[in-house]
Structure 1
Amino acid sequence: MREYDLVQMEIELLYVSTVTEAIEKVTKTLTLAEAEILFEKVTQEFAAWVTLKQELTAAKLSSLKALKFPFSAYRQNQRELAVAVYKAIALKKRLFVEAPTGTGKTMSTLFPALKAMGEAKTQRVFYLTAKQSTRQVAVQALEILQVDIRAVVLNAKEQMIFPEEKDLEDDENPYMLGYYDRLRPALKDILEHESLMDKEVIRQYAQKYTIDPFEFSLDISLFCDLVICDYNYLFDPRVYLQRFFSSQDQGNFFLIDEAHNLVNRAREMYTATVTEKVFENLVDLLKDTTFTGLKKQLNKVISQFTSVKEPMLEYQQEELLLDEKLPSLTKSLQKFIDYMLIWLKKHQGYNHKDEIMETFFQAYTFLKISDFYDATFRTRLALQEGSCQVEVFCLNPSALLDQSLALGGGAVLFSATLSPLPYYQELLGGQENSLAYRLASPFPAENLRVLVASNLKMTYRYRQQNLSRVVKMVGAMQASHPGNYLVFCPSFKLLDEVVQAFNQAYPTIKTLVQTSDMSSQERQEFLAAFKDQPTSSLVAFAVLGGIFAEGIDLKGRKLEGVAILTVGLPRLDLKNDALKDYFDCKGENGFLQAYQLPGLNNVFQAAGRVIRTAEDCGVVLLLDERFAQRRYYQYFPPQWQVQNFSDQQLPAILDDFWETVLQKAH
């Protein structure tokens, strides 16, 4: 206006409806004085954000450059791990690390990552975990470090939103209406006054400014130096953080905790199912409506299911595996999705909303995952009460994980159980130039005795006849040294049988039993029963590979030992057999990849509950003769002191162990 010497000008804003294509025009006359006020207001607002960012950056760099290791001394091998992590960041490499429990993995990765950030070797760190409990460990480590950075903990939407938001559409939700009008002051407030922003802090500010806490957490993350979140925010094609991972950014670095979990999690992320029943149920619900076009599209999809299942019905097959993604079904689902995208815009207040949206998202997810279909995918067909279910699933997610990891400037993937390392390097997207590093245990090896029942057959055929022997071995374990013990079984069925037999043989011994549907409160009560310095024995029974087999920390005398029944092989099914065949065709040992190593990983995790600190001591009973075979024991952790035993020898071996370690303790 100054350049053209204008006293006033007319400005025009056009709104175009994407549904009806109707155009709404808004015009306004602006004087030079009004324009000056507006310009001044906007630039001052922008300047305030630039200033805030500069202040935060200056404080961060000053804090990180002064950062010291927060303890008086490193644990054994901890400094070596920290140095390896720092070098991986500086060289923008991928590092695979197996570091036994007690190494201090969280601090050994987070500390060097923040030091590297202070020296401009990376701009932002993502700490990715499989569980909420491990996210909390990262938070605790950050609190100990006491650095002036901005960090956010991301949680799932259903955990973040307020109760009153549930089931509300965005255009009815008071926390979403006008969200961006209130976002800037909320962001400025929280960034100026908070450094670590977890669920409680974020919800507190979201309530203050009446904005949606989940969306707020994502917007906060853009201003953060450390983002602590679940694996799916990087790896899941359905929910990954598009604001960070739509393109490569060498300034991002990934710390991936409990990386052994990522293999199965990745397979789950690239698995999707679509079911005939969902479409049939929706047709029934809509039969009295006027949604003729929608019903026609649904019936077209159902007809494709009919074509798919006809051969299975004819040959009485309940399950079938294919190496193609059924193009005719996929095409009909794509047409259904295209139709629904238009239909949903035109029908805002429609009936049976939940059922319609469930069908839409099931089809959409199935197509999304099908887009990745290649030689590493398979299609599983299953019939349940005459209804067809189609599942696409990934056998080997390594290439997909590699693509996700390539979006950053390197990664450290670490776990207490990452053996054999080449196996995990291959399956977790390890490039040929990735690095592998194994640390020795920092704890005295003599504090843990691993005992193998070398003449106990625990294959399915012999389990029932050897149940009484198993119970006697567990009884001997608790009798040799009264305390708390965990017994892990490969299934709830076997667990129930063992518990029943144990209670009959030892009716005075207190027992606890994991159930398949435990609430969060029940889980806490289960763990709370493991008291330190117990005066009598507690024997708890849990499922191998379940919630109590990893991620729990029972230090001191809260846990004296575990007994593990069988080698933990995954169940025999079509999908696991497909995985075996896939690796066999590649010239690799398919049974090892599909069954043996996943089973052993569950065993190692369960055994890892016993020794948590340098003062802990205890026993691990491996109750299956297969553990004494070379194909299994060659993968045992190098720090394990292993001894085979017979039924008669066990009590004496246990008595000798406890006498030795207790004398040493005194």
Structure 2
Amino acid sequence: MRKIALNVKQFALPCPRVGSIETHSGYGNAPTSGQEIHQSVQRQRLRENPKYEAEKKLSYSFLSGPYEFVVSGRADGFVAEPAMIEEIKSAFDVEELQRKMRFEPDHPYVWQLRTYGYIHYKETGVVPKLNLHLVSSRNFKSHTLSIDLDIESYEFWLGLRLKELLEETKVKEKLFKKRVAMAEEMTFPFSSPRRGQKELVQTITDSFSGGEALLVQAPTGLGKTAGILYPSLKESLSRGQKVVYVTPKNSQHQVAEEAVEKIQEQGCKVRSLTITAKSKMCLKNEPLCNPKYCEFAKDYYAKVATHDLVNKMSRLRSLNSEKLKKMGEEFEVCPFELSVEAIEQADVVIGDYNYVFAPRSLVGRLALPLLEPDQKANLVIDEAHNLPSRSQDYFSPTLSTLQFNILEKDFVKLPAQYALQAHSLTARARRLIQSYGTDGVSKIIKVEFEPILDLEKDIRDLTTDYLDSDVEILSQDPILRLMNLWTDFTASIQFAGEEFFQTYQRQNHHEMIKITCCDASEHLKLAYDEFKNVVAFSATLKPFRYYQELLGFDEDAKQVEFQSPFEKENRKLLIIPQISTKFSDRHQSAGKIAETIQRISSVKPGNYIALFPSFEFMRMAQDKLVLPQFKLLVQEREMKQSQIQEYLEELKAAKEPTILFGVQGGVFSEGVDFPGDMLIGAFIVGPALPSFDFEREQIRSYYERRYGKDHAFNYAYVYPAMAKAIQSAGRVIRSESDRGVIVMLDSRFLQNSYFETMPEGWFETSPQELVSRQILQDVKLFWEAHGA
């Protein structure tokens, strides 16, 4: 008899499914807030009754067919004599939750509590009293509901639920065996691996067999996506599990999807699922999961069960947003939630970082083991140099007068009554921010919780009235944006620890209060614990120590660097130290930079990219540029995907020589391929150091305390800047047939803390080798050597 472990939340579900998508649906991930409230209630109960037990573990085995379902969990509160079991649930609007519980006897919260009661009954023969204690997270007002436990009714439900579990487990066993068989048959998707690719595959295989986390620096052209995904998937499938592959942007999913397609073309029937941002999949104007507003959220769980949609999705080889949206429209269900339902059946799940690492992530669903509780999925982190800053941003919300100015411009689209109320709320929000900066000086503060909470209540009340009215919800609706902005900040006030600080800041006549996370490594570690093996890779992960620490990898994590598979002669690397790009020198240097771009690009007309530290500096050089034989394309601060694609198509057509001006870290400097003649040269205009301001200096001080004085400046400024610079340089040589020049302008590229980040193979012993005494002559000779 096979044992299947389930927690009470997984087990105690209505049969058949009922309910809509909303905060307290009882399905999926539990609301993230409320732990402190639980603990506060438990401490109060213990003071009132010394016999009260918090987090009482309860477990029972249910037999069905060839399986033993071991159901366990921890009841929030327990008293033995007289028998009482309590579950605590918190909500901002506790009155609404109370009404919901009274009128929904089949709610998952109710079945969870009944299950704890039934387990106690089976162990003792005593039917306990069951209390559902509801607490407001706003004012701690509470209600206690008594939940009935009729043994005969429960056992009727139990029979239905065990029958469901029996069928679900048979499907899981079939999937488990299929995965193991696929692993045995899998072959590498390319008959002739690129130079270094075979060694990369072996490195991943050896690391996973040894249980080591892995940091891999591998350059463009090595085929690192396939070289890492293939062994990660093969190992995971051999254990009956899946691979979760995450990227910093939705736009970078395509590379992983293409690697999966190559594996499928070899006859391996792996199923892939790409999870796209909810906002892009939503079939309404706004992704508001409220059954009063959204017909695709209303009765979602019943519709999925009635139409057997999980099984329908499992028959498709690959699932993407288009297929899921089509199914959503056909059956009037939420496409994004359908993608979450499909996770278990997928062998490869591709998605954004936030689905694993953000405060409200899907990591619980993504990492859920199939059948074997001690076996977990593998995690692959693409472009991992982005993860430290991205994860810090997840925990660093801002409230600013600029945000309210932008919102207020859109309030004119609202009916007058709501526009007036919204203006009143943003005026209060502005006064609240300004109260922290009476002297107008940036400083460390302690944000008071109560005023933030009071405003949140009023914003929630306005939002509720707004949604209950007949007003059409707008795309980018300002009321909902205000609500989301405020609740995100409110949820983040709970974050504590030396890695967090709170500030008042004044910049360009705008004021803000901000919670800043200097280091999210401890939060990242919690996510890694959900997976069996973790591999992080990028073309820029040096110095390894910096990334190892800020990514939250253990000291024994393995670090490997691979060299470019392309001949060094295919590229011409130059450092021009005579030009300074320091902030104080930019006005003086702009003309010299423009002249350098003009003269070098004129040696061989074609497509070039010049990437700057900022838009302001880019405009300075643009004003000085005189290159009439070239077309000039300029990146804008806000660019639609259609405009980005238009620029790329122009470069691809190569009808006339073109120079693209952009910024480092922007849409054209990372995650974009420029193969062949799309790009024959890049100008990297200085390292794009973060702004030297009050907040960044506080971050530097934290790094000094945590990692040492010698590392603080590099951690706060140099290494993040060099990751952008090296990524920018990597746009030029993308295949063995590419040829190009890479020109780096600034003397700082010759300093140790800067050049230690450079990939192996850029120079032999010193970056001085890249400094030329006859720049134009060297460039001319390079192109002549390549038949230009």
Relative to the length of structure 1, the TM-score reads 0.83
Q: Which residue of 1 aligns with 2:390?
A: 265
Deviation at 1:432, TM superposition (A): 1.6
Verify: 1:127 aligned to 2:245, yes or no. yes
Q: Is the 8 A contact 1:305 1:388 kept in 2?
A: yes
1:20–1:207 CA distance, 2 compared to 1 (3 A): closer
Show CA shifts across 1:182-211 (max 9, x none). Answer: 213342453343021111111222222221
Q: Distance in 1 between matches of 2:229 and 2:186?
A: 12
Q: Distance in 1 between matches of 2:689 and 2:287?
A: 41
Q: Distance in 1 between matches of 2:386 and 2:238?
A: 32
Q: Distance in 1 between matches of 2:99 and 2:191?
A: 68
Tell me the SS of whatever aligns to 1:429. Answer: coil
Q: Distance in 2 between matches of 1:651 and 1:385?
A: 42
Show CA shifts across 1:110-150 (max 9, x none). Answer: 11122112321x61211010112321111111111012233
Q: Is the 8 A contact 1:171 1:177 kept in 2?
A: yes
Q: Distance in 1 between matches of 2:509 and 2:681?
A: 48
Q: Distance in 2 between matches of 1:614 and 1:22?
A: 64
Show CA shifts across 1:264-284 (max 9, x none). Answer: 1011101012357989999x9
1:537–1:345 CA distance, 2 compared to 1 (3 A): closer
Q: Distance in 2 between matches of 1:112 and 1:496?
A: 46
Q: How does 1:363-374 map to 2 (within 5 A)?
A: 363-374=486-497
Verify: 1:559 aligned to 2:679, yes or no. yes
Q: Identity rate of aligned residues, in percent?
A: 27
Q: Which residue of 1 aligns with 2:550?
A: 427
Q: Distance in 1 between matches of 2:455 and 2:612?
A: 45
Q: Give the aligned residue type for 1:69.
A: F
Q: Give the aligned residue type for 1:637.
A: P
Which residue of the other structure, out of 571, 575, 578, is the alignment partner of 2:691? 571
Q: Is the 8 A contact 2:608 2:659 kept in 1?
A: yes
Q: Distance in 2 between matches of 1:73 and 1:25?
A: 61
Q: Distance in 2 between matches of 1:542 and 1:397?
A: 29
1:175–1:491 CA distance, 2 compared to 1 (3 A): same
Q: Which residue of 2 aligns with 1:512?
A: 633
Q: Which residue of 2 aligns with 1:175?
A: 296
Deviation at 1:99, TM superposition (A): 0.7
1:406–1:559 CA distance, 2 compared to 1 (3 A): same
Q: Which residue of 1 aligns with 2:255?
A: 137
Which residue of the other structure, out of 180, 193, 212, is the alignment partner of 1:93? 212
Q: Which residue of 2 aligns with 1:608?
A: 730
Q: Which residue of 2 aligns with 1:114?
A: 233
Q: Give the aligned residue type for 1:622.
A: M
Q: Distance in 1 between matches of 2:482 and 2:567?
A: 56
Q: Which residue of 2 aligns with 1:594?
A: 716
Q: Which residue of 1 aligns with 2:195?
A: 76
Q: Distance in 2 between matches of 1:96 and 1:25?
A: 49
Show CA shifts across 1:381-421 (max 9, x none). Answer: 03479985310011112122122212222310000111111
Tell me the SS of whatever aligns to 1:391. Answer: strand
Q: Is the 8 A contact 1:560 1:617 kept in 2?
A: yes
Q: Distance in 2 between matches of 1:606 and 1:336?
A: 44
Deviation at 1:361, TM superposition (A): 3.8
Q: Give the aligned residue type for 2:587.
A: Q
Structure 1 window deviating more from structure 2 (241-250 vs 586-595): it is 241-250
Q: Give the aligned residue type for 1:236.
A: A
Q: Is the 8 A contact 2:368 2:377 kept in 1?
A: no
Structure 1 window deviating more from structure 2 (633-642 vs 540-549): it is 633-642
Q: What's the RMSD between the two structures over aligned residues?
A: 3.9
Tell me the SS of whatever aligns to 2:515. Answer: strand
Deviation at 1:594, TM superposition (A): 1.2
Q: Is the 8 A contact 1:89 1:253 kept in 2?
A: no
Verify: 1:531 aligned to 2:652, yes or no. yes
Q: How does 1:464-483 map to 2 (within 5 A)?
A: 464-483=587-606
Q: Distance in 2 between matches of 1:125 and 1:196?
A: 14
1:474–1:177 CA distance, 2 compared to 1 (3 A): same
Q: Which residue of 1 aligns with 2:662?
A: 542
Show CA shifts across 1:289-343 (max 9, x none). Answer: 99xxx99999998886565334x2xxxx342234xx43xx124434665788899
Deviation at 1:437, TM superposition (A): 1.0
Deviation at 1:528, TM superposition (A): 1.1
Q: Which residue of 2 aligns with 1:375?
A: 498
Q: Is the 8 A contact 1:250 1:407 kept in 2?
A: no
Q: Distance in 2 between matches of 1:216 and 1:44?
A: 23
Q: Is the 8 A contact 2:358 2:391 kept in 1?
A: yes
1:206–1:298 CA distance, 2 compared to 1 (3 A): closer
Q: Is the 8 A contact 1:160 1:199 kept in 2?
A: yes
Q: Distance in 2 between matches of 1:169 and 1:384?
A: 37
Q: Distance in 2 between matches of 1:103 and 1:190?
A: 38
Q: Which residue of 1 aligns with 2:528?
A: 405
1:404–1:501 CA distance, 2 compared to 1 (3 A): same
Deviation at 1:552, TM superposition (A): 1.1
Show CA shifts across 1:512-556 (max 9, x none). Answer: 211222211110111111237x57532221112211011111112
Tell me the SS of whatever aligns to 1:116. Answer: helix
Q: Which residue of 1 aligns with 2:569?
A: 446
Q: Which residue of 2 aligns with 1:8?
A: none
1:405–1:199 CA distance, 2 compared to 1 (3 A): same
Which residue of the other structure, out of 376, 382, 388, is the alignment partner of 1:251? 376
Unaligned runs of 5+ in 2: 1-18, 20-94, 107-155
Deviation at 1:655, TM superposition (A): 1.0
Q: Is the 8 A contact 2:543 2:756 kept in 1?
A: no
Q: Distance in 2 between matches of 1:450 and 1:297?
A: 56
Q: Which residue of 2 aligns with 1:195?
A: 317
1:418–1:43 CA distance, 2 compared to 1 (3 A): closer
Relative to the length of structure 2, the TM-score reads 0.71
Unaligned runs of 5+ in 1: 1-14, 28-36
Structure 1 window deviating more from structure 2 (601-610 vs 54-63): it is 54-63
Deviation at 1:240, TM superposition (A): 3.9
Tell me the SS of whatever aligns to 2:468. Answer: coil
Q: Which residue of 2 aligns with 1:159?
A: 280
Q: Which residue of 2 aligns with 1:308?
A: 436
Q: Distance in 1 between matches of 2:254 and 2:426?
A: 45
1:321–1:250 CA distance, 2 compared to 1 (3 A): farther
Q: Give the aligned residue type for 1:554.
A: F
1:260–1:41 CA distance, 2 compared to 1 (3 A): closer
How many residue pairs align between the two structures?
A: 624
1:195–1:483 CA distance, 2 compared to 1 (3 A): same
Q: Give the aligned residue type for 1:150.
A: R
Q: Is the 8 A contact 1:321 1:574 kept in 2?
A: no
Tell me the SS of whatever aligns to 2:246. Answer: strand
Tell me the SS of whatever aligns to 1:531. Answer: helix
Which residue of the other structure, out of 771, 775, 779, is the alignment partner of 1:654? 779
Q: Which residue of 1 aligns with 2:37?
A: none
Q: Is the 8 A contact 1:337 1:363 kept in 2?
A: yes
Structure 1 window deviating more from structure 2 (233-242 vs 437-446): it is 233-242
Q: Which residue of 1 aligns with 2:22?
A: none
